[in-house]
Amino acid sequence: MTFDNLHQILHSLYADMMPLCGDMAGVAKGIAGLGALFYVAHRVWQSLSRGEQIDVYPLLRPFAIGLCIMFFPTIVLGTINGVLSPIVQGTNKMLTTQTFDMNTYRAQKDKLEYEALRRNPETAYLVDNQVFDEQLEQLGIMDAPQIAGMYVERGMYSLKKTVQNFFRELLELLFQAAGLVIDVIRTFFLIVLAILGPIAFALSVWDGFQSTLTQWLTRYVTVYLWLPVSDIFSCILARIQVLMLQNDITELQNNPAYSIDASNAVYIVFMLIGIIGYFTIPSVAGWIIQAGGMGNVGKNVNSTATKAGALAGGGAGAAAGNVAGKLMGR
């Protein structure tokens, strides 16, 4: 099972939980009906006590809210999701395009790196088994130290590539896991807001709770926008990696002495930045639509991301330093 499948499962979970809104609609109708009774009676009594004409228009508010409660999954959730879905689809298309380009350039870079090592007589035996066997056949018994050195250098090169691939795959796994964490939290918040949405609408009928309606709307839209913001962030990182790969490809084609090790180190740094940056998505989404009460969520998530990023960066740096120290020591 891949991370894409897990994201699809979360999307299906949200769709499967939506019928539960109907269970809350019955309770919400009772709360809204009682609130509408007091709401209308209070305003009619005020108008009669002052000898003023009864303004009918404000009295329609509880009935409009009641209509939304009765058809909550269709009118409210259907409208909001229908408006925001094109945004999600557009950002996902951008990310898919950049990811495809990145995979294409990465395969081209790996091929050029192999060919560059293959063309160099001093390093060809490190990557080509045939060249390695031919050089061994040319050496005799008296060249045992040189043969041993070739085996050691070939083993060190294989160890170096293994360590680099390990850290790259580990950071890519953590990067995808960070995106999955954001999606899980987003799905949980959306399900809770959707199921308890009729209750929020019903409470907004009562005097003193009118802001509940606008707060629910802003929070739902803000949480919904976490996914587009996440896709845009991932798209930016993917574009940076594409530009880095294009630079590596150009250097490998034009500069025979170019070393790819520095580029690999920069790639690891960007992956660490991406892992930490994923947890700032709730705050960035809050800049688009200000949602009261969501600030603490963003602060907690950002605080956790800072600690986790420091721990991951320290651990990765220490491990890489130890490995590099051992390799350089030899």
- Number of folded domains that form the chain: 1
Closest residue by Cα to residue 260 from 119, 150, 106: 106
Looking at every residue in the chain, the average pLDDT score rounds to 78
Would you state the structure tokens that stand for residue 181, as one six-digit string? 């964490």
In a domain, 36, yes or no: no
Does residue 58 contact residue 231 with C-beta atoms inside 8 Å? no
In a domain, 32, yes or no: no
pLDDT for position 217 = 93
Give the domain extent around 303: 9-21+72-329
> How far lies 147's CA from each of 121, 135, 143, in Å?
16, 9, 6
CB-based burial of residue 177 (10 Å sphere; 0-12 exposed, 13-18 middle, 19+ buried)?
middle
**pLDDT above 70: percentage of residues in the chain:** 81
**pLDDT above 90: percentage of residues in the chain:** 11
**Phi, psi angles (nearest 5°) of residue 139:** -95, 150
Rounded to 10 degrees, the C-alpha dihedral 190/194/199/204 comes to 70
In a domain, 82, yes or no: yes
26-82: pLDDT as tens digits: 888 888 888 888 888 888 888 788 877 777 787 888 889 989 888 888 889 889 999
In a domain, 287, yes or no: yes
247 pLDDT band (50/70/90 cuts)?
confident
pLDDT exceeds cutoff 80 at 185: yes
d(C-alpha 240, C-alpha 139), whole Å: 47
pLDDT exceeds cutoff 70 at 246: yes
In a domain, 170, yes or no: yes
207-240: pLDDT as tens digits: 888 888 999 999 999 999 998 998 898 888 888 8
pLDDT exceeds cutoff 80 at 7: no
Q: CB under 8 Å to 38, separation ≥6 — which residues?
A: 206, 207
In a domain, 37, yes or no: no
Higher per-residue pLDDT: 326 or 274:
274
* Average confidence (pLDDT) over 310-325: 40
In a domain, 4, yes or no: no
pLDDT exceeds cutoff 90 at 95: no
pLDDT exceeds cutoff 60 at 302: no
* Average confidence (pLDDT) over 122-133: 71
9 pLDDT band (50/70/90 cuts)?
confident
